[in-house]
Amino acid sequence: KNQVEQSPQSLIILEGKNCTLQCNYTVSPFSNLRWYKQDTGRGPVSLTIMTFSENTKSNGRYTATLDADTKQSSLHITASQLSDSASYICVVENTGTASKLTFGTGTRLQVTL
């Protein structure tokens, strides 16, 4: 069964601090892994997309890593800001079926003063 598991479930950090979110997946066959940011009341917004051959990708203060051998990914947020408070969702796409995505339940991040 295709699954995406994320940890921690929730996280509270002080503004300016760094944090790392984890994602493990069992989706097969693998096509790509995505990280989305979802603000409350809004739809998910793409941060990064990584294919099998990529092991790191950055988008501003967000850096995602991918280890396709161990089927693990991380999202590192540097110098957090209050606006980073959101849910971060790891999503894996499998090949074969046209663009079917498997979502994790997300990590709820709260950045405080």
Q: What tokens were used for 15?
A: 């503004």
Which segment (18-26, 60-68, 71-79, 95-103) binds another protein by CB under 8 A? 95-103
Rounded Cα gap, residues 40 and 26, in angstroms: 28
Q: Which residue has the tokens 């069964």?
A: 1
Neighbouring CB atoms inside 10 A of 46's CB total 11
**111 sits near another protein (criterion: CB under 8 A):** no
Asked if residues 36 and 45 have their Cβ atoms less than 8 Å apart, the reply is: yes
Rounded Cα gap, residues 40 and 91, in angstroms: 18
Q: Which is nearer to another protein, 36 or 77 (CB)?
A: 36
Three-state DSSP state, 84: helix
User: Least distance in Å: CB of 96 to another protein?
Assistant: 11
Q: Which is nearer to another protein, 4 or 77 (CB)?
A: 4
Binding mask 61-80 for another protein (x = CB under 8 A): --------------------
One-letter amino acid of 7:
S
**98 sits near another protein (criterion: CB under 8 A):** yes
**59 sits near another protein (criterion: CB under 8 A):** no
**Which residues of the chain form contacts with another protein (CB under 8 A)?**
4, 31-32, 36, 41-46, 49, 51, 89, 93, 97-106
